[in-house]
């Protein structure tokens, strides 16, 4: 990726944005775009799997759409970060807080780091509720040229200070600069990261709640009860609940498609002892994704009538209820296979351990 300069800005040429339909996890989407710019082979699918997000189901106790974010509820970030081949530096400032050393010094350091990263051809991740990429700058790094999935579906770059909402306006909650490749002694093997992700999949299924978010099997239970109660009252859900229901269903299908194709392609990576279990898990995930969407162009068509809450009929709600039951059973079967694979790996490891 070449760094270009004009009278108005410096920018990295060739960085493409993405929309939420392509990358439901904006954090992993940004990481994948940075990796591609650096010529690194890790993909979006890799990151979604390694982080555990491909296997998670979560629902907020008021059906807030935030449940579809990898950092809300059961966190799905750390294990994927272990797989990254570069070191990072984070500049974090949560709304209403004052950074150590004062805002002026903090912002100056962050802007200098952004400028240095763009100058060496490395995009910078930024964001609050959702993440985007800084791909250029002006005014010595104090003004940012960006792409963001929630600004024109990621298809058009813009100045951060000229938009509002998820994409810009206010100072971001976090800015992450990729500083340098990790030395060999800091790199974690793909095998270790994958085993960690599989263990996390089992843990998430068995975890009932993280704060205001239901997780795993308990998330399905709460979700089905919410939707069933709504249907018994013939609709009338508040708009936020309807939106959260739609987004969480969309994210569920998105993640399970990734889990299915990734495990099918990589089932042999951990050896023949667990390959059959991971292939079986892939089949369950594929069935979940296929049956959840059968007969519809997208998950939103099923959940809120193609974007029209007034068109969310009783028939659609009953269909979603039935398909969530199917999804719950498929998820349970997939996790049982993953748990068997993890147990097999643990057994092999204990037999291979040297005697003391």
Backbone CA torsion sign across 158, 164, 166, 170? positive
Give CATH for domain 19-186: 3.90.70.10
User: Cβ of 325: how many Cβ atoms within 10 Å?
Assistant: 12
Q: 3-class DSSP state for residue 43?
A: coil
CA–CA dist 128, 175 (Å, integer): 9
Query: In this predicted model, what pLDDT tens digit does every residue of 203-222 receive, in sequence order?
Result: 999 999 999 999 999 999 99
When pLDDT is averaged across residues 41-52 and rounded to a whole number, the result is: 98
CA–CA dist 245, 234 (Å, integer): 16
Q: How confident is the model at residue 197 (pLDDT cuts 50, 70, 90)?
A: very high
> What is the pLDDT at residue 235?
62
Give all strands (DSSP E) within 185-315, no chain letters.
209-210, 213-215
Task: Give domain limits for the chain.
Answer: 19-186, 190-352
Cβ contact 260:267 at 8 Å: no
| pTM recorded for the entire structure | 0.94
Query: In this predicted model, what pLDDT tens digit does every residue of 118-176 receive, in sequence order?
Result: 999 999 999 999 999 999 999 999 999 999 999 999 999 999 999 999 999 999 999 99
DSSP secondary structure string for all residues of 288-327: HHHHHHTT-SSHHHHHHTTT-GGG--HHHHHHHHHHHHHH
Tokens representing residue 109 in the block: 């350091």
CA–CA dist 122, 192 (Å, integer): 27
> What is the pLDDT at residue 236?
59
Find all residues with CB under 8 Å of 197, minimum gap 6, and list them. 49, 50, 51, 52, 54, 55, 79
Residue 11 region, left (φ>0) first, then alpha (ψ -120 to 50), else beta? beta
């Amino acid at each position: 990726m070449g760094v270009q300069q004009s009278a108005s800005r410096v920018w990295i040429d060739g960085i493409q944005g993405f929309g939420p339909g392509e990358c439901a996890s904006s954090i992993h989407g940004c990481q994948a775009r940075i990796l591609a710019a650096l010529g690194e082979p890790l993909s979006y699918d890799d990151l979604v799997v390694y982080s555990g997000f491909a296997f998670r189901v979560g629902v907020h106790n008021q059906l807030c759409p935030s449940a579809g974010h990898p950092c809300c509820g059961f966190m799905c970030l750390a294990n994927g970060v272990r797989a990254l081949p570069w070191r990072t530096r984070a500049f974090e400032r949560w709304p209403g807080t004052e950074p150590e050393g004062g805002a002026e010094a903090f912002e100056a350091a962050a802007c200098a780091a952004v400028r240095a990263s763009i100058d060496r051809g490395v995009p910078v991740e930024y964001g609050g509720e959702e993440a985007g990429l800084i791909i250029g700058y002006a005014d010595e790094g104090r003004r940012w040229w960006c792409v963001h999935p929630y600004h024109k579906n990621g298809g058009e770059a813009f100045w951060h200070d000229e938009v509002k909402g998820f994409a810009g306006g206010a100072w971001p909650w976090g800015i992450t600069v990729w500083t340098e490749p990790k030395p060999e002694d800091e790199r974690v093997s793909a095998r270790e990261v994958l085993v960690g992700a599989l263990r996390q999949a089992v843990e998430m299924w068995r975890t009932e709640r993280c704060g205001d978010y239901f997780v795993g099997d308990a998330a399905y239970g709460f979700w089905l009860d919410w939707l069933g109660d709504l249907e018994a009252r013939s609709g009338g859900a508040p708009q936020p609940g309807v939106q959260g229901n739609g987004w969480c269903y969309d994210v569920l299908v998105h993640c399970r498609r990734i889990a299915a194709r990734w495990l099918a392609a990589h089932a042999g990576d951990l050896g023949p002892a667990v390959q059959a279990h991971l292939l079986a898990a892939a089949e369950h995930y594929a069935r979940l994704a296929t049956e959840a969407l059968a007969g519809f162009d997208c998950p939103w068509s099923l959940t809120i009538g193609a974007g029209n809450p007034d068109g969310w009929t009783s028939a659609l709600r009953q269909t979603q209820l039935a398909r969530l039951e199917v999804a719950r059973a498929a998820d349970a079967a997939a996790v049982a296979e993953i748990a068997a694979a993890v147990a097999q790996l643990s057994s092999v490891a204990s037999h291979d351990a040297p005697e003391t």
